[in-house]
C-alpha cells in the first residue's frame, strides 16, 4: 500500500511539473493565464484518476 502511494505521489508531482511547464508554454504562445490552464488540466486528470 505504501509503495503504491509513493508511486501515485511521484506521478502527481511529475504531472504538476509538466502541467506547470505546459501552462507557461501556452501563456507564451496564446497569452492565456497559465493558472486557468493548470486548473482545467488538474480537474480533468483528477476526474480520470478518481
Concatenating the DSSP letter of every residue in the chain gives -HHHHHHHHHHHHHHHHHHHHHHHHHHHHH---HHHHHHHHHHHHHHHH-
Q: Which domain holds residue 39?
A: 2-49
Residue 50's pLDDT is: 44
* pLDDT in single tens digits along all 50 residues of the chain: 688 888 888 888 888 887 877 766 666 655 555 555 565 666 665 555 54
- DSSP-derived letter for residue 31 is -
Residue 33's pLDDT is: 52
Domains in the chain, number: 1
Distance CA 49, CA 4 (A): 14
- DSSP-derived letter for residue 44 is H
For CA atoms 50, 22, 38, 36, the dihedral sign is: negative
Amino acid at each position: 500500500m505504501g509503495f503504491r502511494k509513493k508511486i501515485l505521489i511521484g506521478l502527481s508531482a511529475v504531472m504538476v511539473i509538466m502541467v506547470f511547464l505546459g501552462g507557461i508554454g501556452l501563456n507564451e504562445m496564446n497569452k492565456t493565464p497559465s493558472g486557468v490552464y493548470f486548473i482545467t488540466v488538474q480537474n480533468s486528470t483528477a476526474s480520470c484518476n478518481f
